[in-house]
Amino acid sequence: MNAMIKTRIHWDIGTAYDLFISLRILHDPEQYGVRASWAAGVRSRVPAEFREVLEQTAELRLIPLPFVHSLKEPKDSKQLLTKMKSMPAGDLLETLAMRPNIPEDIQDFFQATNASRKWTAEEKQFLIQRWGMGDNKQTKQLLNTLYKIWTDRKGFGQRLLLGLQAYVDTFFAEEEQRILPVLEQELSYARMRAGSRPLPAMLEEITAGVRYGDFESLSDIILAPTFWGSPFMFSQHLTDSKMIVLFGARPGTMSIIPGDIVPDGLLRGMKAMADSTRLRILRYLAQEPQTAAELSRVLRLRPPTVNHHLTQLRLAGMVQVYLDSSGERKFAARYEGFEDTQEMLNRFVRGD
């Protein structure tokens, strides 16, 4: 049977998804095309004693999609904090961080972590290899953070609750009122498109160029919009055959910064094209899809440099991403991104 027929689509919505994604973006703004000075201003609103735990949450890329999906409606910050407060503080880290598709040996390793001994060099290398991370300064810092919080699960859970409450009180409670109507509108648009297009084509459209190649193994896919995560796609398996996917739901005509009249899509598009290396990448990708490693070789650039440029092009919607079942990513030029940037520039300058 065709995968598009047997894969069932379900829909979800909740500003709590954006709570965690916004934390990640505010602590790494340049990676997501957000003005660093504005992000720093938002972070500074949170009382100093809560900033470290929020930074740790962002560093760990803690975006617990299954946990948010399990919340009662409306899946907002209030419901999120209520649910977390009902749980033992020592259980929060494992509940939020452990996902069904994390290998058992990784789960066992973290669950066995305690303050009685340090991780050995062999154990650190085990994590680096299992996660496919580079053996660099950033990885060492991440491992130190992981060890610190897993040896003090209860303390981390207590600090996380207080930190998230402070973040909601100082910024996110007002922000979710702004983004909820947009999420509702974009979800409605996506549902209409789902009724007239095959699942892979519909997903490629609403994710601005992501093509997922492993639908044959999925019986169910849950789709939910994210304002802050746009245009990226965030996904996690709930089971081996069930996946939740967040798709970008911030129109190109809007800015992530409240009150900013210059659309994010326009700034990203202009920035993407104002670089000779990115133009060269687009020229190669227009000829045939390539991996980042292949681009690195043909351009004679270091892989991190190529990945940086691909991220900027992805932010601008100018590259398509093909994800196969092995996790390999291939990139191709996405011509709709050029057209969207030109149209936004014309409309903005004319004041339409």
CATH 3.30.565.10 for the 264-350 domain, yes or no: no
Q: Determine the average pLDDT of the residues in 175-200.
A: 90
CA proximity to 320, closest of 305, 337, 306, 308:
337
Q: For the chain, what is the mean pLDDT?
A: 89
- Between the alpha carbon of residue 241 and those of residues 177, 214, 218, 244, 277, the distances in Å are 34, 10, 4, 10, 40
Collapsing DSSP states into helix, strand and coil, what is residue 157?
A: helix
The angle formed by the CA atoms of residues 149, 154 and 160, to the nearest 5 degrees, is: 70
**Tens of pLDDT along 39-65?**
999 999 999 999 999 999 999 889 999
- Secondary structure string (H, E, C) spanning 228-297: CCCCCCEEEEEECCEEEEEEECCCCCCCCCCCCCCCHHHHHHHHHHCCHHHHHHHHHHHHCCECHHHHHH
pTM of the entire predicted model: 0.87
Give the end-to-end CA distance of the chain in Å, rounded to a whole number.
48
Q: Could you state, in order of their start, the residue ranges of all structural domains in the chain?
A: 3-113+151-248, 264-350
pLDDT band at 241 (very low <50, low <70, confident <90, very high): confident
d(CA 61, CA 284): 32
Q: Determine the average pLDDT of the residues in 23-36.
A: 92
The total of other beta-carbon atoms located within 10 Å of residue 102's CB is 14
**Tens of pLDDT along 250-277?**
987 889 999 888 888 898 899 899 999 9
Total residues found in the chain within this entry? 352
Torsion sign across C-alpha atoms 300, 305, 311, 317 = negative
pLDDT for the residue numbered 215: 66
Contact yes or no for 221/346 (Cβ under 8 A): no
pLDDT for the residue numbered 214: 65
**Tens of pLDDT along 92-147?**
999 999 877 777 888 888 888 988 888 998 988 888 887 767 777 888 888 999 99
